[in-house]
Structures are given as structure tokens and as C-alpha cells.
Amino acid sequence: MGMKLKEIRDLIRLVDKTEIQEVEIEHEGTKLRLKKAVQEPGSAMQPIVQPPPQVASQVTWAPSQANDTPQQVEAPTPPATTQKEEDEQDLHQIVAPMVGTFYRAPAPDADPYVQEGDQVEESTVVCIIEAMKLMNEIEAEVKGTIVKILVENGQLVEYGQPLFLVKTT
């Protein structure tokens, strides 16, 4: 069924009393993401509850003094894809296998492992992700051409985040 409104309110109050800035919870097909924002004193957080993918609406609410009743809101229609987006959908994504810091080169003064337009093999090292003081070399895992580098050197990356787009050969 998902989370009950009382459970969501309790979570909001609990997160509001802590130093936690953002939390994401998935429970029985309902995804809840709470994120603290810079706000005026006395205002509450604004959670967004996302239903399972097969449901085309989302429940949201804004802080109010008298009423915390959820309001049903239709999910926005995704914009039409452009030719560039369709081309990118045909490309292979090299994704981050872990959370960490993305580095394009083995050392600050070294050349990057790959540039846009470079040919790569399955075993070609394309970057390093530093996680817990360990440098993890990330390989292309496909044969092709680097079309686009999607993250900046030194940027924190999440698990599964696309790093490179590769036109496979």
C-alpha cells in the first residue's frame, strides 16, 4: 500500500529535529525524499512522495498553519525528445560502479586517461573513482569511441551515475 500519512509526518518531524539535510526512503513501492532547504523560521519541509512507476500522479503538500492534507497533483508530461537526445539514447553509458570522487587522470599533473573522440577497448581505463581512500580504475567495458564526458574532474559521483557516452563499434 505504501506509507501512511501519519508515518510520513513522523518522519518529517524526526528529520527536522536532526542535522540530516536529505534522506530518501523507499517502502512498499513508495519513494519518499525529504530535503531541507533554506527556509524562513517556522516553516515546515516540503516532501514529495513518488508513487510506484505505474501510477501517473504524485502526492505533494506545502506547509500550512491549519491543514496538512495531501493534495493530488498530476505528474507533468515529459517533453518531446530532441534528435540529440535520441542519438544519445543509442550510445552506451559507462556508469559509476560506486560512490566516490571522479578523476580523469592518474595524477593531478598527468594527461587524462581519455578525451572525447578517443577510441577505447573493453579493458581501456577511462577514469579513477576514489572511494574510502582507494583509487579504483574504471574500464570502458565496451569497444568504441568516447562521444561525451558527462562529469567534471574532482566531482563527487553516485552509484549508477553516467560518466561517459560511448558510440560502440
Return the pLDDT at 78: 59
Q: What is the spatial distance between Cα 133 and Cα 131, in angstroms, rounded to a whole number?
A: 5
Task: Look at residues 55, 74, 93 and tell me which one is the last residue of a structural domain.
Answer: 74
Residue 90's domain spans which residues?
Answer: 83-168
Q: What is the spatial distance between Cα 113 and Cα 126, in angstroms, rounded to a whole number?
A: 5
| Cβ-contact 45, 35 below 8 angstroms | yes
Number of domains in the chain: 2
Task: Look at residues 74, 102, 120 and tell me which one is the last residue of a structural domain.
Answer: 74
The pTM (predicted TM-score) of the whole model is: 0.49
pLDDT tens string for the chain (169 positions)? 566 666 777 777 777 777 777 777 776 667 777 777 654 455 455 555 555 554 444 444 444 444 555 545 555 565 655 555 555 567 999 999 999 999 999 999 999 999 999 999 999 999 999 999 999 999 999 999 999 999 999 999 999 999 999 999 8
